[in-house]
Chains A and B, each alone.
Chain A
Amino acid sequence: MGTHNTSRRTVLKGAGAAGVAGLAGCLGGGDDDGNGDVDGADELGEQFPEIHFLVPTAGVNAFRNELATMVAENWEEIGFEVNLEELEFGAHVDQAVVQQDFDASLLGWGGTPERIDPHTFIFDMHHSSTTGEGGRNTPGYENPEYDELAELQVTQVDEDERQQTVYEAQEIIARDQPRTYVANEGGFHPYASSRVENVEAGLGEGFNSFWNMISVTPTESDTVRFGYPSEIISLNPMQDLATPDRQFVRLIYDQLYRIGPDGMPTPWLAVDEPEIEDDGMVYTVEVRDDMTFHDGEDLTIDDVEFTYEMYADSPTYGSLVENISEIDTSGNEITFHLDEPFAPFTANVLGQVYIFPEHIWGDVEPDDLADFEDENWVGSGPFQFQDWERQEELQLSAFDDHFETPNADTFIRIPGADVSQLVGDLEAGQLDMLGAVPQPAAIERVRDDDDLDMEEFAAVGYAKIAYNMRRDHLDDVNVRRALSYGVPKEDWVELVRDGMGTVTHTTISEAVEFWHNPDVEQFDEDLDAARAELAEGGYGWDDDGMLHYGADQ
């Protein structure tokens, strides 16, 4: 920082003019940040502790790694001392989510379709009951006023009432800034326009969307070859599945409802919307009677009932259905009685439970569910399992007896070592589409290639910086708000991400129009505002521009 600022500050202090609006220079930082009206504490206490900032390596995520550097520079300019620690993914999750050993942590939060319902964002990520090790409330945010709203929205079956509650909850989160919500990352997924058509980049998932995989149509052959930068771990729907695995399991297995292209649950094996009675305590669903499994056996209401009972016994997914106290069936109708109202029931339970054939899974012990090997993975979905060799390819074929037959006869998923190698395969004609966002240089090449094209998609998940509120120095809302003002959201999206994505200030993506509150308090990059927050919190700066507690703090 320039001596110019220091001397101006000294003069002001000498004149006893602390806090005189419009006169005080910008303290503790750059020379050209405009005229702030900031001053700090008159008497300084201890220096503010160093911020231990966990960030991904460039190998894990080049974009976010760049963001971390930009953020750290700004924070240092405001007067913080920052210790940047770059970590591989597993180590990062372990330290930030399990051990909770961090001050700030830059991680993403994935926006899978079942998270389009606001429950995960509003409740799981911010309610005080989820602050434990491995819980999703990584900042340790606890606010009784907020908890009430998070609990209330679960019980509101009326969507408009629930929307109001979700709006209010977002306002509180924006005010308290347990995290900086940086940007819904979105991006481009490339495909070979000369070889496939009817691609649909779905909300939050791009080409990984279910709707894309059944609609994409090969024009030169009957096969679509889909590249993805990691391997499928398992197709057993009862294992703890990672997101890429689930994206294929759901092609083979059906649910009663699927999350539609608009993000809302739409009837699938169900004939119609569920009939909801008793203030959201009873859900009745009529199931289609024209379904068969891939091995030719009929899919009956008994299979549906069996499935929900099997889930209840599953050590992995039991919690998904634990709110169901009783199930009964009549004709082709199944009725679920709940212990307590659960507003996201259709999206998050009926839309997530895969229907299994009782004749194959009926005798499996609950503890063996996750290890059970049904080598043909018999479901009732629009694609059936054909063959699979790890690291090489997973082959699916269209199931002609389904009411929604896919447009490609064969769908092959090819795992790649990394995205740039996959883009090379796309250019060489060995792949038809990718479920991954290329690096900016590769995006240019795709743009210039006549055979290739890209589809843009909006994200539901986002990049975020969590602040560990269990630490004294980050428990102060002024500090967190100041740190949030130090995040160059706009520059990151426009310059680093080449325009891919949308800056966000709240936990719910603007792509999810119904639940997104557009009027929350905004935190754009503004170092003066950051200093003003700190000054208001009673902090001050020494002659080197380093941040200190005020003497009376």
Chain B
Amino acid sequence: MGLREFVIRRVLQLIVTFWAFFTILFVLFRMMPGDPTSMFILDGMTPEQREQRIAELGLDQPLYVQYVEYARQLLTGDFGQSFIYRDPVMDIIVVRFMNTIVLMATALFFAYVIGITFGALMGWWRDSKFERGGIVVALIARSSPEFWVGIVLLSVFVYWLGWFPSSGMRTTGGELGGGFIARYGSVDFLRHLFLPALTGAIVYLATPTLLMRSTMLDVLNADFIEIKKAEGLPERTVLYKHAARNSILPVVTVAAIATGAAMGGSVVIETVFNWPGMGREMVRAVNNNDYPVAMAAFFLMGSVVIIMNFVADLAYVYLDPRVEYE
């Protein structure tokens, strides 16, 4: 099978995966007990008002009708209207999704840049104190829950040293909204970003570090490294150009998958730092039976996982010509 067929087949798989994912989401949410009117009942909604609201939301329709309607909306790029906010889901989640992406992309960027560098050096200097210490540090980081790391950072940098704000994305009281640069370009924003991003970076650091180290060890045992050394190339060149570059492949694959996983981790970090992102919105939507928002949130986050897996597959094929298309 050639590259072309492989890609086509992979794209078809992608479509089927999306369909299955969407269907499971739909079924799961409709199986959840309660409906969106629940949260208003104790505030004085009468039974008649409740019936009326349920009819307005189309929840009195048979499930298959709701399913077809939701699929139709999704295909036209419309996530529907929030049951609780009564606003288009798109308006609610676009900004949240961006906030989450900016946070997690920063965290992952640092986790991978630092992780790959340290992992490569640990492999290069095997059996050194540096390597042994690095492994211990990485394992501790990997075993630490996100909320714990977040709370430790809060205690030190906010409550003790007072260097950073404790929560939110910007200092309150300023102008709200604004374009991309206004939102994410200010010093104030970076100060708010630092601790949550650091939390993510610490938690995600271990995987690339350890993986890079172990593949480095494999590559360094390979004959061609000896040859390169024998050719009299400088150590740095051998390390970076030959050993590290060849070791990076599995890390790239894992990075793509980790991006997806990090979307889930964002829920915890956003809660600890009150970050106005998708994770928090998702929790709210699930608690309030706000199906359209919850499904859109899960759908987007799940899509990142599915697409990143797809990208990982393609990247692997592209980066390593030895991979067979099967």
Contacts and interface: CB of A to CB of B under 8 A. Distances in A.
B270 A417 contact: yes
B47 A135 contact: yes
Interface residues of B, number: 52
Contacts of A370: 86
A89 B283 CA distance: 13
A225 to B, nearest CB: 6
B45 A134 contact: yes
A240 B167 contact: no
B232 to A, nearest CB: 58
Interface string A361-380: 00000000011000000000
Given A391-B281, A424-B154, A371 B41 contact: no
Given A93-B39, A418-B271, A424 B166 contact: yes
B46 A417 contact: no
Contacts of A98: 35, 38, 41, 50
B40 A240 contact: yes
B175 interface: yes
Interface string A141-184: 00000000000000000000000000000000000000000000
Interface in B40-64: 40-43, 45-47, 49-50, 52-53
Interface in B270-324: 270-274, 276, 280-281, 283-284, 287-289
B46 A134 contact: yes
A88 B284 CA distance: 12
B76 interface: no
A105 to B, nearest CB: 12
Contacts of B52: 315
A448 to B, nearest CB: 13
A428 B165 CA distance: 7
A412 interface: yes
Interface stretch (A382-390, A466-474, A544-552): A382-390
Interface stretch (A231-239, A276-284, A515-523): A231-239
Nearest to A416: B274
Contacts of A135: 47
A370 B81 CA distance: 14
B2 interface: no
B92 A425 contact: no
B12 to A, nearest CB: 38
Nearest to B82: A233
B159 interface: yes
A245 B86 CA distance: 14
Judged by DSSP, the binding face of A is mixed
B172 A412 contact: yes
Nearest to A390: B92
A475 to B, nearest CB: 23
Contacts of B84: 233
A428 B159 contact: yes
B168 A414 contact: yes
A240 B34 contact: no
Nearest to B50: A134
B115 to A, nearest CB: 28
A430 B172 contact: yes
Interface string A240-264: 1111001000000000000000000
B85 interface: yes
Contacts of B170: 392
B79 to A, nearest CB: 16
B222 to A, nearest CB: 49
A194 to B, nearest CB: 15
B38 A392 contact: no
Nearest to B177: A389
Contact of B173 (A109, A223, A315): A223
A132 interface: yes
B175 to A, nearest CB: 7
A374 to B, nearest CB: 14
B30 interface: no
A7 interface: no
A399 B270 CA distance: 35
Instruction: Give the residue among A110, A241, A417 with the most B Cβ atoms within 10 A.
Output: A417
Given A93-B38, A417-B271, A240 B176 contact: no
Contacts of A95: 33-34
B148 to A, nearest CB: 14
A90 B43 contact: no
B228 to A, nearest CB: 52
Contacts of A88: 34, 287
B211 interface: no
Contact of A371 (B38, B86, B165, B283): B86
A378 B53 CA distance: 26
B32 A91 contact: yes
A377 B52 CA distance: 25
B85 A234 contact: yes
A89 to B, nearest CB: 7
B169 interface: yes
B176 A389 contact: yes
B219 interface: no
Given A87-B33, A243-B43, 13 more contacts: A93-B39, A97-B41, A98-B41, A133-B47, A134-B41, A231-B284, A240-B45, A240-B53, A242-B40, A410-B173, A421-B273, A424-B159, A428-B162
- List the 6 shortest-distance A-B pairs measured between CB atoms, nearest first: A90-B34, A94-B34, A391-B276, A428-B166, A91-B33, A134-B47
13 contacts: A88-B34, A89-B39, A98-B41, A134-B41, A243-B43, A390-B85, A392-B170, A412-B172, A421-B271, A424-B167, A425-B166, A425-B167, A428-B166
